[in-house]
Structure 1
Amino acid sequence: MIPGVLFFIGNNLYAKNVVRDKVTETYRNTLDIFADHTDRTLNDITNYLNKLGVYDTDVGVLNSFPPGSDNYVLTKIRIQLKINRDIGLYNMIDTIFLFNSNELILSTSSQNQYGILQNVLNDNVRRIVDESTPGRWLLWYDRRIEGGNFLVQVSEVPDTGLYVGAIIRMSEIANQLSIQWSHGDIGEAAIYRSDGTRLGGQGTDSHVQLNRTDLIRENAPYRFVKDGETGKRYLMMNRPSEVADMTTSILIPESYILQGLPYFQLLTYAMAVGVIFIFSLYLFFIRRTLFKPLQQLISGMKKISLGMLNVRLQTNNTLEFVFLANTFNNMAEQIKSLRIGMYEEQLKAQKIELKQLQAQINPHFYMNSLNIIYNFAALKDTDSVKKMALHLGDYFRFIMRANRELITLEEELKHIANYLEIQKFRFPHKLGSVYDIPGCMKGSLMPALSIQPFVENAIIHGFVNHRKPFEIRIRGELLEEEGAFMHITVEDNGGGFPEEVLRRLNEGQGLPSADSSRLGIANVIQRLKLRYDGAARVDFRNTDDGGAAVTIRLPVSTEHELPEPKGE
């Protein structure tokens, strides 16, 4: 429909342009005929003045006689008779005159204006001579002459000091223009000076004010100007004169040119509005019956994809969308049922995985402990065997009880103490430990074996120089970070983490080595992730003295405030 509407509008504009072009072509011919005729007449008068000054013997010898002599008077009378006769040959000429320093001879077609013209020439003739250009008519103004504006041409008689000239009233040229152009509804014609001043006194009731720019003749056949009071648009055509500073202009009201076309314009616009109105109703109907249900369907699908399984679609009167909405609602109900079942299965799998991760840590220390007992027995060091067996018994007693999901921090620290005492039998006088745990933290609950694997990793990878004493420090503190959290830090004075290992640990990437200690660290991180669902965090860094440090961040919970594991 949009191309159809655009076609209507474009066709209307094309018709208006065609009408303007055809009307302009007709009036342009009329304007050119008048301007060419006026210029030819002015040129004929110029040629007449030149011939009068050059070929007429009386004009040539007038200044050779003494003023007042008989010959001078007779010659002056003959010249007066000639110009009285010649002024009738040119309808456009108002006055023909000759003057020198002593005399002014003139003949005019307006005998009642003779004295006025004589005074005007006496007052202005010298200035007119100074400003005249050979072959070009000078536009002059004097309010004493009817209409005020007139054209004047002055030609010097060679070697005599005598001048011949002619005056043409602009009102006369304007009258001849009005003969060819009927004023009224079809527009108006007028003659303008190049600065926009209207000449000839005709049509001065017009509100159209022209300026220098409006009067410039362009390559375009016409241009538009606007009435300052009524706002009406006029089609304007200009034709400047070739021999005088004046421009003939024709102003045609656009309403006259396009008379009849406005009805077609209104019809075109009415059709366009009607098409748009019908199309709007159609869009409203389509939106209600098609777009709105589709939007509801798309919105429901987005909500389903975001996990909002309680979304249901409303049905409308369209049979197809009733079927579509019922099908969507049934699918949403089935997805909800399937998701609940899968969620329960996932919880069971997570619990089984947690148990497997706990059991996976249990055998790490078993073989080394038996080797130590065997060596003490071989040395018949029964006291050491007793102490070793006691610590080992407590160690495995804790392991057998580690199937509990949560233990206290105090129980975890006792287990770590047993582990370190066993390790001190391997490295006597080389291994030390320091505990800095506030008493208020010892009752906090945590998953079993959450700290011990990091202590084990420190001894395996940090205690590389067995000649230098190795110390493990365990510190704890309570912090408020959008809730209560405890930070437990395990530090040593060993060689620290290699840069690549440290980067991979902090980015959560797997380590290339799969030994038991690093597998235990991965298990701890996975267990904390399953248990606290992102609330727990493990950070790795190297201390200022070059050792390794691991900080475990856990939510604070007690026996009366157990954290719910993910999915429970």
Structure 2
Amino acid sequence: MRRSIRTQLVISFFAVMLPVVLFLIANNWYAKNVVHDKVSETYRNTLDIFVGQLDLYMEEINDYLYKLAVLDADVGLLAAFPVDSDNYVLTKVRVQNKINRDVGFYNLLHTVFIYNENDIIFSSSGNYGQVKQLLAQEAPRIAAQHRQMLDGTWMLWENDLMPGRDFLVRLTPSENNQYIGAIISISDILDLLRIQWDDDKIGESAVYSREGVRMADPLSFTDRTLPIANLPLLDTPYQIVGQGENRHLVMIRTSSMADIAVAVAVPEKQMLQGLPYFQKAVYFIVLGLVFLFSMYLLFIQRTVFQPLHQLINGMKKLSLGMLDFRLKTTNTVEFQFMANTFNNMAEQISNLRIGMYEEQLRAQKNEMKQLQAQINPHFYMNSLNIIYNFAVLKDHDSVKKMALHMADYFRFIMRVNRESITLEEELKHIGNYVEIQKFRFPEKLECIVDIPERWRTAALPALTLQPFVENAIIHGFLNRREKFIIRIHGEIAAAEDGDKLVIVIRDNGVGFHPDVLDRLRRGEELPASESSRLGIANVVQRLKLRYEGGAGVEFDNDPGGGAVVRVRLPLPAELSTERTADISVIGEADDVQSVGRG
């Protein structure tokens, strides 16, 4: 019994996947998300309270430093007395007694110090010698960055003399380059965290910088550590880090007063310890799902993927021009219809392409006939006037030469019915045209050809190069005081779609006008009726039709003056074997000559 592919996919999908998907959805939502949300909510509230209290402590210390710097008279007098005076010593003793009293009053306050260029007064709950050495090293550097702490922010600092290396520092400027500062040790913050979190039943807490680097890690008194030393501080209620049994649910809160963040990590296995059998069942179900899904893929491969692959392969071959390819039909209704439709379409395209190709050939022949009919009347009349003038002057030799060149020129025009001619024939036609023009501009016009003889057997459409030479003389030869020189030379250039034979036509005239050059490069029609420009558009179109994009024309201006036209043609097979040798002599003339009859 035939069934549509839609019916087969729907029935097999619901029969195999629906029970498993429903079970996995229930398991994941209950065992993971619900538990994570509830646990993280509890710990986040406690963490918010702890970080809020920590910020409150730092704000109280900020107020204390401000009062000490601004309101305390003895601190102000320190800057008024010389360091070695008795008044300075007595004032220093009073200040030292005050800060010794205050250092134990504020929570988390590790050290209070007063720094100027000549002296450091401090009181600390830590090791006196280490703190004195630390302030001697770091106080000048900290004072240099005091502007970063004017908004009340505590700066994160580090020094090996501080237990745990990391500490927070706050600096308030006083009069006469005097600074009142305070230090909070990260290890003291960790001690408060351990009291609240590290009880071997909850998890582990840690302090991080805002960049996610763990701080004061060597001071941890527990064997358990967070899965990674550095932790990305994401703006989420919680994040999961680690893998396998080492997965942790991590909650993070950043301080508003300092560049630190407090994190609490809870092992996931402790949160899910009530669901072990449910989790193990999921693993077995996943294994069964993999097996069932593999069988389902084999079924899909046979019923869907293979016919689709054949269809895609047929489309690729059709796009490459292999119009004789046909698809095999299958037992599936949809793919049987698609195969029959594809085969009918391929047959129609084959017939259509043959008709279009024949139409293109007819169009090319019509364009060639049109080009033959586009003889510039001015050129024809000027040539007759030249013959008449030579006859009046009884210069019979010039009349003979002129008539002979005109006969060869028009004979070529009237007889180019072939699809292609040799490069040699095209160059001879150019020579006749140039020689006729030389009678108009004696001693003012020259055409030099630099193309090796062995390249001149290459085939190309008739009248491919002559319109560019005609255009150069008509539009580029404006300064009649200097000799106008047209150079034609050949090159072999590498390209992605195969090597090209490049015929370069350049002159020493005025070059293309910028507007004309821009329109030529964009392939737009020029607003002119001269046959030379009409011939250029005709050449570009014929090359496009003849070589299907394998040939083209490039227009440019020479920086030294004059126009440059490059006609790129597919390299003939007989020249491919000589490519290396030809490239090495580009620009060297195997046969340099003036075009036309002498």
- Give the structure-2-normalised TM-score: 0.46
More contact order relative to length (CA 8 Å, sep ≥ 6): 2
Is the radius of gyration larger for structure 1 or structure 2? 1
- Give the structure-1-normalised TM-score: 0.48
